[in-house]
Amino acid sequence: MNKWIRQKFMPCSPLGENHSKITGCEKHIRLSRKAACEGTVLLKNNDALLPFEKGTKIAVFGKSQIDYVKGGGGSGEVNTAYIRNIYQGLKLKREQLQVFDELSLYYQSYVEQQYRSGETPGLLQEAAVPEALLASAKNFTDTAVIVIGRFSGEGTDRKNDGTDDYFNLSETEKDMIEKVTANFTKVVVLLNVGAMIDTSWFADNPGISAAVMIWQGGMEGGLAAADVLTGDSYPSGKLADTCAVSLDDYPSSEGFHESEEYVTYTEDIFVGYRYFETVPGKKERVVYPFGYGLSYTEFSLSDLSVCDDKKNIYLSVTVTNTGNRAGKEVVQVYFNAPAGKLTKPSRQLCGFAKTRELLPGDVQNLQLSFAIEDMASFDDMGVVAKSCKVLEKGDYNIFVGTDVRSAAETAYTYTLEENQIVEELHSYVAPEKLEKRLQADGTYQTLECKEIQRETFPCVYQIPVKPEETFQLIDVAQNKLSLDTFIAQLTDEELCHLVTGQDNIGVANTCGMGNLPRVGIPGVMTADGPAGLRIKRECMIDTTAFPVATSLAASWNTDLLEEVGKAGALEVKENNLSIWLTPALNIHRSPLCGRNFEYFSEDPFLSGKMASAIVRGIQSQNIVAVPKHFACNNKETNRKNSDSVVSERALREIYLKGFEICVKEAKPKMIMTAYNLVNGVRVSENAELLWGILRNEWGFDGTVISDWSNFANHKTEVQAGNNVKMPTGEPEELFTAIAAGTLKREELCVAVKYLLSTILWLD
């Protein structure tokens, strides 16, 4: 049996065709470029300025054309052979565009000098525009491109306080924009960002004709941007977040930096478009709505039909390319649940589908469906039925369109005469300190703060008789004995060792698990993602950097994400690594969260579908996918000690929803708990969350691992259902706890069983 060859021998065995290397290969880099184009969102395109006509002369302003941000910093950073910046990308299109080099070279020397003086790439201040260059650029052309870039990373949030602007423009940026719009008649803006930033300055500015979200597009992001500008490709992305007029318009802004100790989620379920489209007076605060994105062509939707079979709702719609260029359209389905005893958002995404490439005149019929149950709400107050998912009686209206705002109500309505309980769940992880929460009419509901007795989950594991001879793990794979009997032969010390992270082997640099040679348990290594396989520079292995998750989500293309997941997993496998710490799917609650670039969206349904697609792709290669950070790690400041105070309903409907979709649909083999606390309890010590919700209610049967070097207690983690502590644990303390009778051998056996089941799944 050729099992665990890679884990055991670390062969330098390439996985590509004809024994070629696949890590960082041309095919994957092409996929990265394609994905970057596919996630590009065209926000504005007056007089069809884009794509540029052949021969257009352009002057490119902004340091970010050189200081291009391919992705964010921290564990999500990917080391590549090269990064193609925007200027380089545009220069590769010399047959189609003429770039005013003198200006770009000015920015190049500025950026190089800043790097030499130790400034952090991506975080450079904008360079002032020299008058002489402005004048010569104006002589060269009437068309300018402005590039605005933003960088953020793990461990810190942005402040937007004038010293550390993310959302707002800096004074130098404003000055540049003013000068450019005053001197050029045609102006295009490119936004090289990983999260929402201010878009109000160009939306209604007649001096700016076009604006494109190119996001942080991975290692070929500069070329992908050039592909889109020249029309070699086209934008077909849609916003996965709402663009609001100002940072203060996002309801999370009020308390985001209030305390390092806690974050209070008073906006409750009204996150993103659920807030802007529902709460009176907030629609006007939106610049570009969720789901929005233009194309170089035009589409029409027709022949819409909707029906149901009391279980699912089915839709059929025809998309026609009525314009004169190729493109793809995304059809989005939203529902509006009746406002009953539970407050409801006016729209919730429940389905979407993207067309294939449609040439002018092409027609495609799309079929979509979703479960009626998916329209239920979680009743955490018992106003209809306590701790149940409930469909309240009344009319459920369905909206179909190409963004949340313009989606039109269909002729179809699903009506319920009586309230219907969809699922009876439990009251888990309830808040003790949430004083109020927002409702649809903009008022706050006052909540009672009280101490809550948390549920315990006694261990019910039965230890079988210890076998007389020693077996190897491979014997379990060959059905010679059960996993439980195999575990029975392990000493207490060995069990403590197995619930603890293990040292790096090979090119791994985030440690691993397993590693018990006496009984043939291989050491299986982890590696970071999500925008590509991260291997430390010192290992001299260049991998492929794909576009960041925000960009991938904006593609609304699950097939593409599956392809990216598969490609990334192949790179993981070729390097003899087994566990890819990917995808990350925390909710974009605030534009200031330092790790938004690693996460998909403000919407849990879109996040869940995108994560599921990536997990399917990864696990198709027998590489373990690890959705993270479960859950409510929506802020980086003091992330290991910050308490996310949130209602049970918002937890279920917003912050856990994406994980639930992913766990149920794609069956990831592992999940990573978040550093933070939720309602006063650290996630990795949170039995209600891990045993109650994740395992008992959702049926998760993979391994739960901690985030790296958290502040939690190892014994409490094991008992709460966090199976392995990474990257190292406290095995000696566990051993002492067994002796003291405060930790049971059975509890360790359960944790080890989950881990070994995952290792057995590896090929």
The catalytic residue positions are 707
CA atoms within 13 A on the CB side of 458: 2
Please say which residue, 89 or 594, places its beta carbon nearer to ligand BGC: 594
Which H or E run contains 21?
none
Q: Are 301 and 401 in contact (CB under 8 A)?
A: yes
Shortest CB 707 distance to ligand BGC, Å: 5
Binding mask 425-464 for ligand BGC (x = CB under 6 A): ----------------------------------------
Residues with Cβ < 8 Å from 517, sequence gap 6 or more?
none
Q: Are 225 and 86 in contact (CB under 8 A)?
A: yes
Separation of CA 619 from chain center: 18
Shortest CB 275 distance to ligand BGC, Å: 27
Residue selected from 486, 600, 708, 735 as contacting ligand BGC according to rule CB under 6 A: 708
Residues 384-423 that bind ligand BGC (CB under 6 A): none
Please say which residue, 75 or 703, places its beta carbon nearer to ligand BGC: 75
Which H or E run contains 307?
strand 299-308
Please say which residue, 653 or 707, places its beta carbon nearer to ligand BGC: 707
Shortest CB 509 distance to ligand BGC, Å: 8
**Residues 608, 744: Cα–Cα separation, whole Å:** 36
707 binds ligand BGC (CB under 6 A): yes
Residues 207-246 that bind ligand BGC (CB under 6 A): none
Tokens of residue 682, six digits: 């650290």
276 binds ligand BGC (CB under 6 A): no
Please say which residue, 215 or 708, places its beta carbon nearer to ligand BGC: 708
Helix, strand and coil content of the chain, in percent to the nearest 5, comes to 30, 20, 45
Residue selected from 510, 612, 676, 723 as contacting ligand BGC according to rule CB under 6 A: 510
Please say which residue, 227 or 717, places its beta carbon nearer to ligand BGC: 717
**Residues 362, 320: Cα–Cα separation, whole Å:** 6
Please say which residue, 62 or 153, places its beta carbon nearer to ligand BGC: 153
Among 516, 495, 517, CA closest to 752? 495
Residues with Cβ < 8 Å from 472, sequence gap 6 or more?
519, 520
Tokens of residue 354, six digits: 């993207």
Tokens of residue 357, six digits: 């490439």
Please say which residue, 199 or 710, places its beta carbon nearer to ligand BGC: 710
628 binds ligand BGC (CB under 6 A): yes
549 binds ligand BGC (CB under 6 A): no
Residue selected from 25, 581, 705, 718 as contacting ligand BGC according to rule CB under 6 A: 581
Shortest CB 204 distance to ligand BGC, Å: 39
Which H or E run contains 752?
helix 745-761
Shortest CB 315 distance to ligand BGC, Å: 37
4 binds ligand BGC (CB under 6 A): no
Residue selected from 23, 75, 152, 264 as contacting ligand BGC according to rule CB under 6 A: 75
Residue count at the site for ligand BGC (CB under 6 A)? 7
- Name the DSSP letter for residue 303: E
Please say which residue, 629 or 649, places its beta carbon nearer to ligand BGC: 629
Decide: helix, strand or coil at residue 106: helix
**Residues 718, 708: Cα–Cα separation, whole Å:** 15
Which residue's structure tokens are 């709505």? 289
Residue selected from 157, 227, 249, 528 as contacting ligand BGC according to rule CB under 6 A: 528
Shortest CB 648 distance to ligand BGC, Å: 25
Whether the link from the prior residue into 132 is cis, omega within 30° of 0, is: no
Could you give the maximum distance between any two Cα atoms of the chain, in Å? Answer: 88
- Name the DSSP letter for residue 283: G
Residues 731-750 that bind ligand BGC (CB under 6 A): none
Q: Are 45 and 294 in contact (CB under 8 A)?
A: yes
Whether the link from the prior residue into 467 is cis, omega within 30° of 0, is: no
Tokens of residue 384, six digits: 């209809």
Q: Regarding beta strands 436-438 and 444-446, do their DSSP bridges make them parallel or antiparallel, or are they unpaired?
A: antiparallel
CA distances for 712 relative to 83, 400, 682, angstroms: 38, 46, 7
Shortest CB 590 distance to ligand BGC, Å: 18
Shortest CB 494 distance to ligand BGC, Å: 25
Please say which residue, 177 or 705, places its beta carbon nearer to ligand BGC: 705
Question: Rg (Cα) of the chain, in Å, rounded?
Answer: 26
Please say which residue, 165 or 528, places its beta carbon nearer to ligand BGC: 528
Shortest CB 708 distance to ligand BGC, Å: 4
Strand partners, 190: 147, 212
Among 582, 518, 601, CA closest to 271? 601
**How many beta carbons lie within 10 A of that of residue 447, not counting itself?**
17
Shortest CB 298 distance to ligand BGC, Å: 41
Tokens of residue 517, six digits: 């040679």
Residues at the contact surface with ligand BGC, assessed by CB under 6 A: 75, 510, 528, 581, 628, 707-708
